Amino acid sequence: MKTLAVTFIALILLGVVVWFLAADHWWRKLYGAKVIYDGRSSPNALVYRSNKGDYLVDLRAHQDYLYLIHRFEDGKGSLWLIGTTWDFFQLPGFAISKSVKPPAVDLGGPKDETNPQLVVEEQSIEFTTSKQKHVRITWR
């Protein structure tokens, strides 16, 4: 019985250590997020939030791409195009990234001529995709 208790405690401690080491790889689904894509409601678009406050927006249901929004403390942000590659595993309520920062291209940066017109607010995000579609995401 003592061996079983020690094994159980060791497994719990191992789980806690793994969780802390992998915490930056976990993205929590943002339930209640409402996505408007090109003027229409998009119930199939997925929105996730990282522990650091970044957002992952999956618009592949619209033949568009994955976008990463980095939110700065001053309320500004940057928009990154991940593309169609899925560097994430989806689980119910979560996405897990293979790398802490997935390979992406900065929209509006020197390698891209898109003006994302990114607006990051406390409970909403608006941007223009690389396919020139306007996206508005709101949540509570």
Predicted confidence at residue 15, as pLDDT, reads 67
Summarize pLDDT for 70-123 with one digit per residue, the tens.
Answer: 877 766 788 888 866 667 777 889 887 776 566 667 676 655 566 788 988 889
Mean pLDDT of 32-45: 95
How far, CA to CA in Å, does 103 sit from each of 8, 66, 114?
38, 11, 18
Predicted confidence at residue 101, as pLDDT, reads 64
Q: Above 90 in pLDDT, residue 19?
A: no
Buried b (16+ CB within 10 A) or exposed e, 106-137: bbbeeeeebebebebeeeebbbbbbeeeebeb
Summarize pLDDT for 95-110 with one digit per residue, the tens.
Answer: 877 765 666 676 766 5
User: Would you kindly state where each structural domain of the chain is located, as residue ranges?
Assistant: 26-138
Mean pLDDT (the chain) is 82
List phi, psi (to 5°) of 89. Answer: -105, 135
Predicted confidence at residue 95, as pLDDT, reads 84
Of residues 87, 104, 108, the one with CA closest to residue 96: 87
Predicted confidence at residue 13, as pLDDT, reads 80
Place of tokens 């949540």: 139
